[in-house]
Amino acid sequence: MDESTQKYLDFLIIEKGLSDNSVASYSTDLAQYITFLEKNSILNLNDVDIAVIFAWLIDLTKKGLSAKSRARHLITIRGLYKFLINEKEVTKNPVKNVDIPKIGLALPKIMTVKEVADLLDAPDIRKPRELRNCAMMEIMYGAGLRVSELISLCLQDINLDANFVRVMGKGSKERVIPIGSQARSITQKWIKEGRPFLLKNISTPYLFVARAGKPMTRQFFWKIIKKYALVANISKNIMPHTLRHSFATHLLEGGADLRSVQTMLGHSDISTTQIYTHISREYLIKMHQKYHPRN
């Protein structure tokens, strides 16, 4: 079974071009599924039937996994069996008729424009490392980047003359996103002053560097966000991705069209972007209730 799942992971990497983070998630889900089968003395994927699948889903529920997490696990296993059937390694798909758990609409947490401003004003940009941290947050909010896209940016990916940044998103899809004057200004200051100071004589292609010219980790950037949220007295539980959610929502609230936001976020399906319209709708309702004379 391990050999079959490894073939599927290789397929996702080579044929589908999924990112390392996506493949790691698939790998974790598959490992948990195989462990469940082995604990129940099932040593061949062809021996799995719909009853086993239901037992596995019940086991995931008992472990406290949300409907969203169970849905992700089920989608992973569906893909596995679809692949193995095409490869003629199994003859039946036991998850074919199993419905995805209903997960409802999960609205991402966002910050207000003032909260974002307070967060971005929190670093002391006279210090090289804090200048770097400020530039990272400005670029993430200014271009709506994913954390993985932000930390992997190279110097050649940003054009401060034309005010845009080029990123390689999910599925190795390249996109170009404009950046505003504030993000441009602080990033230019970082490149000219902070970056050379931290690098000394080390050569590296990365735009934002940590120790020894290496790119920053996702975990370290998460700590940076947490640090400045405390400094700015922001009570919300802010994550790095909150800046990306806020970028999209603030654009829509300002009048940007959904297709443009979809392009900037790098969503392959506009239905993924549409979740932000629900947030904007809530914002409009609040504004109407606050300012309309008949409320």
| Residuewise pLDDT in 10s, the chain (295 residues) | 678 888 889 888 887 777 788 888 889 999 999 999 999 888 888 888 888 888 898 888 888 888 888 888 888 998 888 888 888 888 888 888 777 766 555 566 789 999 999 999 999 999 999 999 999 999 999 999 999 899 999 999 999 998 889 988 777 778 889 888 899 999 999 999 999 999 988 999 999 998 888 888 888 999 999 999 999 999 888 888 889 989 988 888 888 888 888 888 888 777 677 777 666 666 556 655 766 555 5
Query: What per-residue confidence (pLDDT) applies to 21?
Result: 84
Q: What is the dihedral of CA 111, 148, 224, 243, to 10 degrees?
A: -10
Residues 251, 116: Cα–Cα separation, whole Å: 13
Predicted TM-score of the model (pTM): 0.64
Query: What per-residue confidence (pLDDT) applies to 174?
Result: 85
Q: In this structure, which amino acid lies at residue 22?
A: S
- The superfamily in CATH containing domain 113-291 is Intergrase catalytic core (1.10.443.10)
CA angle (54 as vertex; 49, 57 as ends), nearest 5: 130
Contact 165, 171 (CB under 8 A): no
The residue ranges of every structural domain in the chain are 2-86, 113-291
Residues 96, 145: Cα–Cα separation, whole Å: 35
Domain 2-86 has CATH 1.20.272: no
Q: What is the pLDDT of residues 122-167, one digit of tens each?
A: 999 999 999 999 999 999 999 999 998 999 999 999 999 988 899 8
Residues 244, 229: Cα–Cα separation, whole Å: 15
DSSP 15-59: TS---HHHHHHHHHHHHHHHHHHHHTT---GGG--HHHHHHHHHH
Around Cβ 206, how many Cβ atoms within 10 Å? 18
Single out the residue of 272, 273, 279 nearest to residue 253, CA to CA. Answer: 279
What's the chain's length in residues? 295
Query: What per-residue confidence (pLDDT) applies to 117?
Result: 95
**Residue written as token pair 């110097």:** 155
Single out the residue of 200, 179, 175 nearest to residue 188, CA to CA. Answer: 179
DSSP 61-97: HHTT--HHHHHHHHHHHHHHHHHHHHTTS-S--TTTT
**Which amino acids are annotated catalytic?**
146, 170, 241, 244, 267, 276
Query: What per-residue confidence (pLDDT) applies to 107?
Result: 60
The half-sphere exposure of 117 on its side-chain side, counting CA atoms within 13 A, is 4
Single out the residue of 48, 10, 51, 50 nearest to residue 27, CA to CA. Answer: 10
Q: What is the pLDDT of residues 41-72, one digit of tens each?
A: 888 888 888 888 888 988 888 888 888 888 88
